[in-house]
Structure 1
Amino acid sequence: MTSSPKSLSGLRPFIRPYRTQVVLAGLFLLLAAGTTLAFPLALKLLIDQGLVAGSSSDALAEKFFELFLVAAALALFSAGRFYTVSWLGEKITADVKNKVYAHVLEQSPTFFETTQSGEVLSRLTSDTTLVQTVVGSSLSMGLRNLVMGLGAIGMLVWSNPMLMLQVIGVLVVVVFPSVYLGRRVRRLSRASQDRVADSSAIASEVLNAISVVQSYTAEKREADRFTASTGQALGTALRRTRARSLLVGFIIMASSAALLWGLYLGTLSVRAGNTTAGELGQTIVYVILLASAFAVLGEVYGDVLRAAGATERLMELLHTRSDVSSPQHPQQAPWPANGSSLVLRGVDFNYPSRPTQQALNGLTGEVRAGQTVAIVGPSGAGKTTLFSLLMRFYAPQQGDVLLDGVPIEKMDLHALRQRIGVVPQEAVVFSGTVLENIRYGKPDATLAEVMAAANAAFAQEFIADLPQGYDTYLGDRGVRLSGGQRQRIAIARAILKNPPLLLLDEATSALDANSERMVQAALETAMLGRTTLVIAHRLATVQRADCIWVLDKGRMVEQGTHAELIARGGLYASLAALQFAG
Structure 2
Amino acid sequence: MVSVLRGNPAQSLSLVWRFISPYRWRVGAALLALLVTAGITLSMGQGIRLLVDQGFMTRSTELLNQSIGLFLLLTLGLAVGTFVRFYLVSWIGERVVADVRKAVFEHLIDLHPGFYEHNRGSEIQSRLTADTALLQSVVGSSLSMFLRSALMVIGGIVLLFVTNPRLTSIVVVSLPLVLAPILIFGRRVRRLSRLNQDRVADVGSYVAETLGQIKTVQAYNHQAQDRQRFSGTVEQAFDIARRHILQRAWLITLVIVLVLGAVAVMLRVGGMDVIEGRITHGELAAFVFYALVVGTSFGTISEVIGELQRAAGAAQRIAELLQARSEIVAPAPQVQALPGRVSGRLALDNVGFSYPSRPEHPVLKGLSLEIEAGETLALVGPSGAGKSTLFDLLLRFYDPQQGEIRIEGVPVRQLNLHELRRSFAIVAQTPALFFGSVADNIRYGRPEATDEQVEAAARMAHAHEFIQQMPEGYRTHLGEGGLGLSGGQRQRLAIARALLVDAPILLLDEATSALDAQSEHLIQQALPGLMQGRTTLVIAHRLSTVQSADRIAVLDQGQLVAVGTHRELIASNPLYARLASLQFNVEG
Q: Give the TM-score normalised by the residue count of structure 2.
A: 0.91
Map 1:101-112 onto structure 2 (within 5 A).
Answer: 101-112=105-116
- 1:371: how far off? 0.9
Map 1:524-563 onto structure 2 (within 5 A).
Answer: 524-563=528-567
Partner residue of 1:411 out of 395, 407, 415: 415
> Distance between the aligned counterparts of 2:244 and 2:353, measured in 1?
51
Structure 1 residues 485-531: Cα deviation after superposition (integer angstroms, max 9, x where no partner): 11111111111111100000111111122212222222222111211
| 1:468 maps to 2:472 | yes
Structure 1 residues 56-110: Cα deviation after superposition (integer angstroms, max 9, x where no partner): x222111111011112112222221121121111111211111111111101112
Structure 1 residues 278-300: Cα deviation after superposition (integer angstroms, max 9, x where no partner): 10011001111111121222222
Partner residue of 2:339 out of 334, 355, 359: 334
Query: What secondary structure sits across from 1:358 in the alignment?
Result: coil
Structure 1 residues 96-127: Cα deviation after superposition (integer angstroms, max 9, x where no partner): 11111111110111211222212211211122
> Distance between the aligned counterparts of 1:305 and 1:314, measured in 2?
14
Indicate the residue corresponding to 1:212 in structure 2. 216
Larger mean Cα displacement after TM superposition, 24-33 or 495-504: 24-33
- 1:389: how far off? 1.0
In structure 2, the CA distance between the partners of 1:367 and 1:395, relative to structure 1 (3 Å rule), is same
> Distance between the aligned counterparts of 1:352 and 1:199, measured in 2?
27
> Distance between the aligned counterparts of 1:235 and 1:353, measured in 2?
32
Query: Aligned partner of 1:293: which letter?
Result: S
Do the aligned residues in 2 keep the contact of 1:326 with 1:413 (CA within 8 Å)? Answer: yes
Larger mean Cα displacement after TM superposition, 339-348 or 327-336: 327-336
> Distance between the aligned counterparts of 1:462 and 1:193, measured in 2?
46
Do the aligned residues in 2 keep the contact of 1:419 with 1:499 (CA within 8 Å)? Answer: yes
Indicate the residue corresponding to 1:429 in structure 2. 433
> Distance between the aligned counterparts of 1:195 and 1:537, measured in 2?
44
> Distance between the aligned counterparts of 2:316 and 2:247, measured in 1?
28
Structure 1 residues 312-339: Cα deviation after superposition (integer angstroms, max 9, x where no partner): 22222212221112342532222437x4
Query: What secondary structure sits across from 2:364 in the alignment?
Result: strand
In structure 2, the CA distance between the partners of 1:514 and 1:406, relative to structure 1 (3 Å rule), is same
Larger mean Cα displacement after TM superposition, 242-251 or 97-106: 242-251
- 1:38: how far off? 1.1
Query: What secondary structure sits across from 2:426 in the alignment?
Result: strand
Query: What secondary structure sits across from 2:397 in the alignment?
Result: coil
Map 1:464-543 onto structure 2 (within 5 A).
Answer: 464-543=468-547
| 1:132 maps to 2:136 | yes
Which runs of 5 or more residues in structure 1 are unaligned? none
Do the aligned residues in 2 keep the contact of 1:343 with 1:365 (CA within 8 Å)? Answer: yes
> Distance between the aligned counterparts of 1:7 and 1:455, measured in 2?
53
| 1:31 maps to 2:19 | no
Do the aligned residues in 2 keep the contact of 1:110 with 1:352 (CA within 8 Å)? Answer: yes
| 1:157 maps to 2:157 | no
Partner residue of 2:581 out of 551, 564, 577: 577
| 1:73 maps to 2:77 | yes
Do the aligned residues in 2 keep the contact of 1:5 with 1:308 (CA within 8 Å)? Answer: no
Map 1:70-469 onto structure 2 (within 5 A).
Answer: 70-177=74-181, 196-219=200-223, 222-223=226-227, 226=230, 251-252=255-256, 254-328=258-332, 330-336=335-341, 339-469=343-473
Query: Aligned partner of 1:271: which letter?
Result: I
Query: Aligned partner of 1:42: which letter?
Result: G
Query: Aligned partner of 1:118: which letter?
Result: S
Instruction: Compute the RMSD of aligned alpha carbons.
Output: 2.6
- 1:401: how far off? 1.8
Which runs of 5 or more residues in structure 2 are unaligned? 1-5
In structure 2, the CA distance between the partners of 1:41 and 1:164, relative to structure 1 (3 Å rule), is same
Query: Aligned partner of 1:156: which letter?
Result: L
Larger mean Cα displacement after TM superposition, 357-366 or 105-114: 357-366
Query: What secondary structure sits across from 2:548 in the alignment?
Result: coil
Do the aligned residues in 1 keep the contact of 2:7 with 2:319 (CA within 8 Å)? Answer: no
Do the aligned residues in 2 keep the contact of 1:358 with 1:554 (CA within 8 Å)? Answer: yes
> Distance between the aligned counterparts of 2:43 and 2:231, measured in 1?
55
> Distance between the aligned counterparts of 1:242 and 1:346, measured in 2?
61
In structure 2, the CA distance between the partners of 1:139 and 1:522, relative to structure 1 (3 Å rule), is same
- 1:574: how far off? 2.5
Do the aligned residues in 2 keep the contact of 1:174 with 1:254 (CA within 8 Å)? Answer: yes
Partner residue of 1:16 out of 21, 39, 43: 21
Q: Give the TM-score normalised by the residue count of structure 1.
A: 0.92
Structure 1 residues 412-442: Cα deviation after superposition (integer angstroms, max 9, x where no partner): 1111111100111111111111111111011
Tell me the matched-pair count: 580
Larger mean Cα displacement after TM superposition, 181-190 or 117-126: 181-190
Query: Aligned partner of 1:33: which letter?
Result: A
> Distance between the aligned counterparts of 1:13 and 1:5, measured in 2?
12
Larger mean Cα displacement after TM superposition, 530-539 or 258-267: 258-267
Indicate the residue corresponding to 2:3 in structure 1. none
